[in-house]
Amino acid sequence: MSLLEEIRNRPVRELLVGTYDMRYLCMPVFPFFRKGRGVPPPRFFGVHEFLGIFVALVMGLQHALAMVGGLITPPLLISNLAIGVRPGTSIPYAKGDPSEIQRYLVQAALIVCGIMTFFQVAGFRLFRTPFQLGAGVLSCMGVSFTTVPIATSVINTLMKEHGNTFEEAYGKLLGTLMLCSIIPSLLSFFPIRMIKKIFPPIVCGVVIMLIGVHLIGAGFKNWGGGAFCADNYLHGPTSTSCLLPNGKYANGTMIYKTGTCYVSPGVNCGDKTKTEVFLPFGAQQYIGLGFIVFFSIIVLEVFGSPFMRNASVILALLFGYMIAACIKFKGKKYVTTTKIDMAPGITFLWTKTFPIGFYAPAIVPLCIVFIITSIETVGDTIATLEASRMAADGTDATRRIKGALLNDGLSGLFSALATSLPLTTFAQNNGVISLTNVASRQAGFAAAFWLLLLGILGKVGAWITTIPEAVLGGMTTFLFANVIASGIKIIINGDPLTRRSRFILACSLALAFGVELVPQWATNNLWPVTPNMSKGVRGIRDAIILVLSTSFTFGAVTALILNLIIPLDSSNPTTTGPNHGNMVVDDTTSGKEDEDGDYSVVPPYIKQAATTALVVADKPVPPLAITVAPPHVVVPAAAAPVESGPSGSSPSSSASPVTDGAAAAAMAASDSFKARPGSASAATVAATVV
């Protein structure tokens, strides 16, 4: 049944608010008065579950707000390059008003993300092909952070060394991005076995986890007052008072070996168009505002009703925003309406354009960037499937992963044509899914609607930008921690942590965490720029410095290379993981013949038939523990071999017997599958389940 038919066939009340037990959803929880009874978890909503319009809009707004902070940051950083004049002159870098350029790039990013999120969530099947466009799950598209360092370098080079205006430099960047965006689309047509070999769980999990670590840094910067404020922060004094040259005492930072000090000017945080309060980074007022949001999420998780726990992110954010709007600091407001008053009522794409060009030295760096975003996309899609309680392996998962890659490539092309930076699958939304227990695609469509609305309605989008950085940071820090948890879950649920996988994990985390903690480790001094350096070499040099100085790119490349060159560990022939369910499969023996010609995978119908046999016999269904031996030999795991006859006769008395009805059910289930040489019949397996 299509979504439109489902809407038509539902009563109005059910269509608006769904069919929920409102008492269960809305009654608060008092855990200390439940006399040992557990607190029921929030209900999980699957990918295809109907939410109701109101619930879908609330859940979609959570996803949109979780993305807004990270989504608008790249265009804000890029548009800041338009501010200023050329050295030694009064000629500005931009022809137009820099504030108008900034507003337009933010609105364009919101609109493009809304459009491409719709395609990503819908997962349209391509006509008469096995491919689809989009993942078809609750996975949202956002502006890629990975592009920002290269984009900044390219624009600065074109403006300062080639005399281009900001509009011309940005246009050349967009043209180069169009060419490089083909990489994710090409990867989507590769065989899935090749994709999984390049991006196994150990690689994807590491990338997702490192992205979360990197994003937590961004969340903490906002929590303390803002990213610019954090990056230009001067540490407080090393002593409570210092002697200045004029004999006065003042707080400041000690000057090495002089005994004197200078008063630290600091950098006051704030945007005059959104606040009247300007305080140094880490001021107690900023920390307090962010903590209100963070603590509210905890309170809602402990005491909130199921609905409140599902909507805890947006409720905590709105509560923090309300507090910030109501209080003042020395008579000055934390929230003003200046940006809202300045914004136009309605806007759309191409109300401002840039001349499309091309910059060859940026090809290599941007190709590396798109490879990294492809790794992010594969990992994020797997994380979304895991959070949505869907199989992360198999035909359906393969189609969704390829659809996400194809949508990633087309999003890069469309976003450049729409004057925006390239998009990628956002990891933040996996944290929202895990937190809210809502994986319904309807929440994804609602998120796309909100993003599009925020982009088109200039006043609404301007309201979002008035949220204080500290309030936004308190929320995003918690969400980004859920991204780390998603990465850890992918690693744990993937292949076993053998010596090989632990080695890959250790090397990747060592280098990535080192760069994250000490970012100056790999900087310009590693490969200094010389006057005689060619443009091509400069581009390669910039790409290498970018990879080495960004934690998640460094860790991703390290994990990718090590996974391809380190031989598989043959000391442990037993493999477990999502491909084998709860089975233990001896790779040295025979089972179902796979595509490589070796017998290493137990046929899935064996597990189904064995389960059917136990259900018919009215016996509990334990996790299957099956070892496939040479032809017609099936043994329970950690038990002595049990021989069976060549025609599937009854096993020896050491096997656990099943009833005649169970055996008949197992045989019936296996009738449609002719036993291959080296495979055990379903009935025999059912009879030997421990």
Q: Give the C-alpha separation, 190 to 183, whole Å.
A: 11
Q: Is 674 exposed, middle or buried (0-12, 13-18, 19+ CB in 10 A)?
A: exposed
Bigger pLDDT: 657 or 194?
194
CA distance linking residue 196 with residue 375, whole number of Å: 11
On whether the CB atoms of residues 478 and 297 are closer than 8 A, the answer is yes
Share of the chain above pLDDT 70, in %: 70
Of the candidate ranges 228-237, 433-442, 542-551, the one whose mean pLDDT is the lowest: 228-237
Give the model's pLDDT for residue 513: 93
Specify which of 154-168, 396-410, 595-609, 618-632 reaches the highest per-range mean pLDDT.
396-410
The fraction of the chain above a pLDDT of 90, given in percent, is 21
Confidence of residue 671 (pLDDT cuts 50, 70, 90): very low
User: What is the H or E stretch that residue 407 is in?
Assistant: helix 395-417
253: enclosing H helix or E strand: strand 253-254
- Please, are residues 420 and 75 in contact by the beta-carbon 8 Å criterion? yes
Residue 425: beta bridge partners? 141
pLDDT recorded at residue 273? 59
Q: Which positions ≥6 away from 108 have C-beta within 8 Å?
A: 75, 349, 418, 419, 420, 455
pLDDT on residue 314: 79
- The whole-number average pLDDT for the span 333-346 is 84
CB atoms within 10 A of CB 643: 14
Regarding pTM above 0.75, the answer is no
Which range, 189-193, 380-384, 426-430, is most confident?
380-384
Nearest to 66 by CA among 326, 428, 365, 402: 428
Quick one: pLDDT band at residue 260, thresholds 50, 70, 90? very low
pLDDT at 245 over 80: no
Lowest mean pLDDT among 288-292, 530-534, 679-683: 679-683
d(CA 506, CA 562): 11
H/E element holding 425? strand 423-425
Q: How far is CA 543 from CA 154, 176, 365, 504, in A?
A: 11, 15, 4, 23
Question: What distance in Å separates the CA atoms of residue 518 and residue 50, rounded to the nearest whole number?
Answer: 47
Residue 43: the pLDDT is 76
The whole-number pLDDT of residue 224 equals: 87
Averaged confidence pLDDT in the chain: 74
pLDDT bin (cut points 50, 70, 90) of residue 367 is: confident
pLDDT at 166: 93
> b/e for 473-488, b at 16 or more Cβ within 10 A?
bbbbbbbbbbbbbbbe
**pLDDT tens for each residue of 13-64:** 666 766 666 666 667 776 665 555 666 666 788 888 888 888 888 888 888 8
At residue 428, the pLDDT reads 73
Question: How far is the C-alpha of 507 from the C-alpha of 554, rounded, in Å?
Answer: 11
Residue 77's pLDDT is what? 76
Q: Residue 299 has what pLDDT?
A: 92
> Closest by alpha carbon to 212, among 513, 548, 573?
513
- Residue 49: per-residue pLDDT: 86
Average pLDDT over residues 549-566: 88
CB 275 within 8 A of CB 333: yes
Q: Which of 282, 266, 292 is nearest to 224 (CA)?
A: 282
Q: Would you state the pLDDT for residue 24?
A: 64
| 687, pLDDT greater than 70 | no
Strands (E), 481-621: 574-575, 585-586, 592-593, 599-601
Q: What does the domain layout of the chain look like in residue ranges?
A: 53-212+326-491, 574-687
CA–CA distance, 612 with 689 (Å, rounded to integer): 12
Q: Which residue has the higher pLDDT, 366 or 252?
A: 366
Q: Is the pLDDT of residue 608 over 80?
A: no
Residue 127 CB partners (closer than 8 Å, separation 6+):
none
Q: Among 343, 322, 347, 281, which residue's Cα sits nearest to residue 467?
A: 322
Predicted pLDDT of residue 647? 41
**Mean pLDDT value across residues 324-337:** 88
Task: State the Cα–Cα distance between residues 96 and 165, nearest whole angstrom.
Answer: 10
Task: Indicate the burial class of 458 (C-beta count within 10 angstroms; 0-12, 13-18, 19 or more).
Answer: buried
Q: Look at the alpha carbons of 637, 639, 645, 650 in this order and tell me if their dihedral is positive or negative.
A: negative
Using the 8-state DSSP alphabet, how is residue 362 labeled? G
